[in-house]
């Protein structure tokens, strides 16, 4: 250990002090920071209000954007509907005009019949452009998706079993979706009675 020094204080008392020991100096007094609770709360309130303004603005902007999008979609849908209606009327106009011409023409029954056939053909072409197709009828296999059976007729030929024999009302589909089922009579194979 280090050397010891003897020191004598004013009262005559001896203190042994080593070289390694140092006399403690009075430390600086650290005063606690005084925080004003109102100022701190005011700062937090201002920060919260700023965040609220930011979120409110973002919400308002989003609402405006959604309303504009909804309005755009409604306008597009309306325009698409108007365009489809226009195209539909346009495709039907020529057959209507030909019907008027047929009615105005004075002639025999054969000419009238031919005029009506022509108009029917034009109507079917116009409807075909809109996606209308006729459901398969006579001779095809019965399909309850496309056919409504009105009656069952006995047939001797086994090849006619389950087949459409007669069509009472044509069926139609639009773009593959049945609009009107065909009303049909279907065959049911039966062995002929022996005499």
Is the CA virtual torsion 117, 119, 124, 128 positive or negative?
A: positive
Rounded to an integer, what distance in angstroms lies between the CA atom of residue 166 and that of residue 173?
Answer: 19
> Which residues are CB-neighbours of 148 under 8 A, at least 6 positions away?
171, 181, 182, 183, 184
Label the pairing between strands 164-169 and 132-134. unpaired
- Is pLDDT above 80 for 33? no
Taking the CA of residue 16 as centre, how many other CA atoms within 13 Å lie in the half-sphere pointing to its CB? 3
Kindly report, residue by residue over 118-151, the tens digit of the pLDDT. 888 888 888 888 889 999 999 999 999 999 999 9
Mean pLDDT of 46-71: 96
Mean pLDDT, rounded, for 58-86? 94
Query: Which pLDDT score, from 0 to 100, does residue 9 have?
Result: 58
Domain ranges of the chain: 40-130, 131-195
Give the mean pLDDT of 20-45. 73
Element (H, E) at 50: helix 37-104
DSSP 32: P
Q: How far apart are CA 64 and CA 62, in angstroms?
A: 5
Question: How high is the pLDDT of residue 18?
Answer: 52
Q: What does pLDDT average to over the chain?
A: 84
DSSP β-bridge partners for residue 151: 185
pLDDT bucket at 16, cuts 50 / 70 / 90: low
pLDDT score at 23: 53
pLDDT (0 to 100) of residue 86: 86
Binned at pLDDT 50, 70 and 90, residue 1 comes out as: very low
CATH topology of domain 131-195: Nucleotide Exchange Factor Grpe; Chain A, domain 2 (2.30.22)
Judge whether residue 46 has pLDDT over 80: yes
pTM of the full predicted structure?
0.53
Long-range CB pairs of 152-159, under 8 A, 24+ apart, other chains included:
152/185, 152/186, 152/187, 152/188, 153/185, 153/186, 153/187, 153/188, 154/187, 154/188, 154/189, 154/190, 155/187, 155/188, 155/189, 155/190, 156/189, 156/190, 156/192, 157/187, 157/189, 158/189
């Amino acid at each position: 250990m280090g050397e010891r020094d003897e020191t004598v204080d004013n009262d005559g008392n001896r203190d042994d002090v080593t070289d390694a020991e140092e006399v403690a100096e009075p430390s600086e007094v650290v005063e606690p920071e005084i925080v004003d609770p109102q100022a701190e709360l005011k700062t937090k309130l201002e920060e919260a209000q700023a965040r609220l303004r930011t979120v409110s603005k973002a919400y308002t902007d989003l609402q405006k954007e959604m309303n504009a999008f909804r309005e755009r979609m409604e306008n597009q849908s309306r325009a698409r509907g108007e365009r489809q209606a226009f195209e539909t009327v346009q495709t039907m106009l020529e057959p209507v005009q030909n019907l008027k011409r047929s009615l105005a023409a004075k002639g025999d029954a054969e000419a009238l019949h031919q005029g009506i056939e022509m108009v029917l053909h034009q109507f079917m072409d116009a409807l075909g452009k809109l996606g209308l197709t006729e459901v398969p009828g006579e001779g095809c296999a019965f399909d309850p998706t496309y056919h409504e059976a009105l009656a069952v007729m006995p047939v001797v030929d086994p090849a006619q079993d389950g087949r459409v024999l007669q069509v009472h009302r044509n069926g139609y589909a639009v773009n593959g979706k049945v609009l009107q089922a065909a009303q049909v009579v279907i065959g049911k194979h039966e062995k002929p009675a022996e005499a």
